[in-house]
Structures are given as C-alpha cells and as structure tokens.
Amino acid sequence: MGLKGSPCSVLALLVSGAAMASGCGGPGFDPSAPPVTEGDWYRPALDVTWQWQLTGTPNTSYDAEIYDLDLFETDTAVIEGLHAEGRRVLCYFSAGSAEDWRPDYDRFSRADRGYKLDGWAGERWLDIRSEDVLAVMLDRLDLAVDKGCDGVEPDNMQAFEERTGFRLTADDQLGWNKRIANEAHLRGLTVALKNDGPQAAQLVDHFDLDLNEECHQYGECGQLEPFIDAGKPVLNAEYPGSLAAAEAARARVCQAAATARTRTLLLPLDLDDAFRIACDG
C-alpha cells in the first residue's frame, strides 16, 4: 500500500520534522521506504510512443507522445513547444554519476566521486549513500520542475552492479532509487526507472515506467515484466550501430518487442537522431 497525502507532508510522516531540511522525503535512503502513490503527475499508458534524443538540436517532428531530452541542454522554449503540440517531456540527468561538463559538477566532493565509467569520458560514479550527492539531485529535480518537464529519466541507477570505487550493496541501491522516485513524485514529476532490471520487481510500485537499454540484445526483457503486469510501459532502446544494421534488424527486433510488449526504438548509441526506427510508430 502506498502513502497518501499532500506533497511534502507524505514522507514527513516517516521522519522527524527537523529532518525535513534535506528534502521533502527527509534524510536517509531506506530500502523499505513505501512509495508515494497519490499525486497529479503524468502516468503513461502501456502503448505510449516515444522519442529519445540527448545530443544535438532536438528534432521535434516525430509523432510521439513522450520526448526524452537532456535536462541541462534543452531550452525551456523547446519544452513549451512540445507541450503546445500535446507532447510530454521527460528530462534526462544522471543520478548516479558526475559528468565534468555539467554546471553543478564542482558540488560533488572528491570523496563522493569514484571510479571512471568505462567508455564514458569525463564521467565518474558517485557515492549514492551521500547526503551531499542527494542535495545535488534534489536541485536537479527542482530544475526539472522549473523548466516545465513532465517527468525525469534519472540515469545510472544500477551502481551496485558496477565497479564504482564504493562498496555499494543492493539495499544501498534500493534506498537510493526509492528516494529519488519519491522525491520526484512529491514534486509532481513522472519518474522512469533506468535499467536496474534485477530490482525491477522491488521498484515497480515506486516508478511510473521503465526505460531500458538493449534488453532484447542481452535477453533481459523478462526482468521488466513486473512493469508490464502493473500496466506501466517499458521503453527500450536497441543500438544496432548504423541505419543499415537497424534496417536489417527491424523485423527480428520488432517481433521480439511485440512478444515482450516493450516500446522499442532502434537508435544510434550517441542518441543524436542520426537515425530512428520505431517498432510502434
């Protein structure tokens, strides 16, 4: 059963009043924290259509209900324009890593920055047990509200499975992910669970949808069935490497997507709109 109540009063029932200084949800990262379920945020349907672009000038010409765009790089005017066309906007940010090109990078202490992310220059894992790291993420959620985002896509939510430089446990990850989700909902934001398939069943009540990368490629879509069973969409991106490879893989991937009921796009790894094949229109 979820909690009910007005925004910052809901999780306040779980913590002391003095603790509220660290965010609507109070301090700490409780792996057993109940979900915030009452609120006026957008809840996408199973058959939602979507577009994902994180680099370059956003191409807003697709007939998709959801556009997933970068929180920092996307102008408010682009979000307003999409709203005028009846679209919804998820705003991407990394909730588990520090990217040295972001304007708030210097707020992460050296102690909270861990090992480099393999294959991603300028990016380091963060200690998701840190209240200082949480403070930055809460401000990012507030920025999403200020810019008019309908929801957020917090990335790198599976740090406990990675070589981060910290001794993170599965419970650490559950506590962090649930805290981020509840804080998003308390601000009226939709929130997507990014990857973290092994914990999907434990997190489905806290998140409104799942956004996965290459679950068909790696045979991991079955982990995400709790979202489908709950009537929440699974957005999936496959990275075939080129438009030609995407065209060649279209029939096979889209058949698998239909079977698994994922909302699958074939996209470039850079997410720069160089090509796009949608299995669902």
Range of the domain at 49: 7-278
| In-domain check, residue 1 | no
Residue 12 has what pLDDT?
42
| In-domain check, residue 158 | yes
Q: What is the pLDDT of residues 188-224, one digit of tens each?
A: 999 999 999 999 999 999 999 999 999 999 999 999 9
| In-domain check, residue 2 | no
- Judge contact between 280 and 269, C-beta under 8 A: no
Please classify residue 229 by burial: count the beta carbons closer than 10 Å to its beta carbon, then call 0-12 exposed, 13-18 middle and 19+ buried. Answer: exposed
Higher pLDDT, 201 or 280: 201
Global confidence as pTM: 0.91
Q: What is the pLDDT of residues 146-189, one digit of tens each?
A: 999 999 999 999 999 999 999 999 999 999 999 999 999 999 99
CA distance 258 to 97: 33
Q: What is the pLDDT of residues 88-122, one digit of tens each?
A: 999 999 999 999 999 999 999 999 999 999 999 99
Residues near 170 by Cβ (< 8 Å), separated by ≥ 6? 160, 198, 199
Helix (H, G, I), strand (E, B) or coil at 68: strand
| In-domain check, residue 255 | yes
Count of the separate structural domains present in the chain: 1
Residue 23 has what pLDDT?
63
The CB density around residue 142, as the number of other CB atoms within 10 Å, is 14
Residue 93: which CATH number?
3.20.20.70
| In-domain check, residue 270 | yes
Does residue 3 have a pLDDT over 50? no
| In-domain check, residue 197 | yes
Residue 28 has what pLDDT?
74
| In-domain check, residue 209 | yes
Strand order in the sheet with 123-126: 97-99, 123-126, 113-116
Q: What is the pLDDT of residues 216-262, one digit of tens each?
A: 999 999 999 999 999 999 999 999 999 999 999 999 999 999 999 99
